[in-house]
Every structure is written in C-alpha cells, then in structure tokens.
Amino acid sequence: MQTLTSHRQADPDTSAPGKVWFVGAGPGDPELITVKGRALIERAGAILFAGSLVSEAATRWAPAGCVIVDSKDMTLEQMTAWLIEQAGRCATVVRLQTGDPGLYGALIELVQPLDAAGIAIEVVPGVSSAMASAAAAVESLTLPEVTQTVIFTRVEGRTPMPAGESLEALAGHHSTLCIFLSITLLGRVTAALTAAGWSQDAPIVVVHKASWPGEEKIVRGTVATIQALCREAKIVSQAMIIASPTLGARQWTTLAKSKLYDASFTHRFRRASVPASTLTSGTP
C-alpha cells in the first residue's frame, strides 16, 4: 500500500464517525472529475483510490496530512476495514473509484459493511468511460431515426451473465452497445454480433484509456477487422468497445435532424415558424 501527502489542511479529527464518500474519478483525465468530487478530495482526511484504474494524479488536490492509499493489492475485507478505521479518525473519507461508482464497481459490496458498522456514506457520480470514449471518437451514441437506445454490457468471462443477457441476445436489438471489460474477449464480441445479424462491415470503435493524457488510443474498424487492428495496436486492457449503427455519422451525407431544434416543431419554449418539413433518414 502506498501513502502520499500534499499541501492543504485535511479535515480535523472528529469524535463522531466520519462519512465515507464514494466518488467517481471519471475515465482517466483528472480534470474530468466533478467539481463536487474535487472539493471532497480537497478536504479529505483519508483517500483510498483504485490505483489499477484511477490515475494517481486524481489525488493531487489532497490536503497536507491526508492519508492516501492505493487499493490495487487489497482484498475487499481489507478495503472495508481501512475505510471504517479512517472514518473513526477523520470527518471526510473518500473512496475514489474509476468512472462512475455505480457501473462495474464493487459499490454495494463495500457499502454493506459500512452500513453494518453504522458509517454514513454518500455517492458522487462520475463520467463513465463509455461517455469519454464516445467523446474521444467524436461519436454520438444516439441519433434520431437510427437508434434511441444505449446498452451497457460486457461479455461473459469468469463473471457469468444473468439469463437473457448474452451479448448475442442484446445485440439483436441493433442499438448502441457499449461493451465494458471485454477487450481480451474481442473474438467473442464479434462472433456474438455476427450471430445477431450484424454485417461484417458494421463499424466498431475501440478506445483504450479514453481521456488519459498521452495514453489514449482510438481504433476504428469493422466486425470483420477490429480484432486484428486491436492486436496490431497492442490493446489488451482498459478499453471500451462501441458497436453502433450511429458510428461514422459525422461523415454521412444525409442525417435526420433533431425535432427539438427544427423550425417546424413547436415546444413550450418556441412556436413553429415554418410548416412541417420532411426529415430524411440518416444513412452512411
């Protein structure tokens, strides 16, 4: 475990148990943490960060005297014991998690022992790597008349998938798929998409370490080519796979426009100024 110090003044000790804040650190760039998350780091007496996924730079706003520990070599029991111990000595304890705490994190597993110990907790959301990946690639996950649905999922590996949630079944909707934790199983991803009826030239975008300064990689390919392209780029971890009928829309020659901004569309802030127009469907 690693302990660091910084320059601000940490919260003073308190006789009452402190609160543990589960803070989403965002996808990698420390500046993508929320304002609220940064403010909590600035006054924290103790921070436990997921060093295997969260950049240590995210702790740079921590105050002098703050105890900062990397949890990458800790078990769940060691982590909860540490959080409970620190909550007994300082007012603000931060568990800094990658992305958003509610997506593919051990949030509930960590919260239950704290509840049992009578420790107050609160969750601060963060920017998911799915959103950061779409932003990095300048892609929209939804488009009018193309898809209005986004599915966050993963491929079955050592962690089984619940009944009805196989990638093939979800891919059958032909909506946007943001596939987490599956880059080493990319062959299974493309096989599932193929079985669900996606064409071999359907576009795929893979983003490695989205928003990480100097480390981000974006690979564009198709169902047929993406595995070889990622192998060539040596992407084997921390990657978001996006499969979507919206990919590449930036280059489409026709695009269905949002009705919210259409001059023929009336809503509570603006009345239509021209007759209703016929919108064309988006096509590559």
Residue 185: which pLDDT band, with cuts at 50, 70 and 90? Answer: very high
Report whether pLDDT(262) > 90: no
Residue 201: which pLDDT band, with cuts at 50, 70 and 90? Answer: very high
Does domain 8-127 sit in CATH 3.50.50.60? no
Residue 275: which pLDDT band, with cuts at 50, 70 and 90? Answer: confident
The proportion of the chain whose per-residue pLDDT surpasses 90, expressed as a percent, equals 77
Q: Which residues have a Cβ under 8 Å from the Cβ of 17 and sit 6 or more positions away?
A: 87, 88, 118, 119, 120
Separation of alpha carbons 191 and 171, rounded Å: 11
Please write the tens of the pLDDT for every residue from 2-24. 444 444 455 655 556 799 999 99
> Can you point out the beta strands (E) in 135-265?
150-154, 176-180, 203-208, 217-222, 239-243
Residue 264: which pLDDT band, with cuts at 50, 70 and 90? Answer: low
Q: In the numeric block, which tokens belong to residue 207?
A: 């983003």
Residue 258: which pLDDT band, with cuts at 50, 70 and 90? Answer: confident
User: Which of 1-5, 141-145, 262-266 is predicted least confidently?
Assistant: 1-5
CATH 3.40.1010.10 residue spans of the chain: 8-127
Q: In the numeric block, which tokens belong to residue 100?
A: 């958003």
Report whether pLDDT(145) > 60: yes
Average pLDDT over the chain, rounded to an integer: 89
Query: What pLDDT is stored for residue 267 in this prediction?
Result: 59
Query: What pLDDT is stored for residue 46 in this prediction?
Result: 97
Distances (CA, A) of 258 to 17, 141, 145, 244: 50, 14, 9, 18
DSSP labels for 33-63?
Answer: S-HHHHHHHHH-SEEEE-TTTS-GGGGTTPE
CATH 3.30.950.10 residue spans of the chain: 130-250
Report whether pLDDT(142) > 60: yes
User: Which of 54-58, 117-121, 127-131 is predicted least confidently?
Assistant: 54-58
Q: Which CATH architecture best describes the domain 130-250?
A: 2-Layer Sandwich (3.30)
Identify which of 11, 16, 73 has the alpha carbon closest to the alpha carbon of residue 46. 11
pTM for the model: 0.86
Q: In the numeric block, which tokens belong to residue 13?
A: 């000790």
Report whether pLDDT(263) > 80: no
Please write the tens of the pLDDT for every residue from 219-248. 999 999 999 999 999 999 999 999 999 999
Please write the tens of the pLDDT for every residue from 78-100. 999 999 999 999 999 999 999 99
Separation of alpha carbons 238 and 236, rounded Å: 7
Separation of alpha carbons 231 and 193, rounded Å: 19
Separation of alpha carbons 223 and 246, rounded Å: 15
> Can you point out the beta strands (E) in 35-183?
46-49, 63-64, 67-70, 92-97, 120-124, 150-154, 176-180
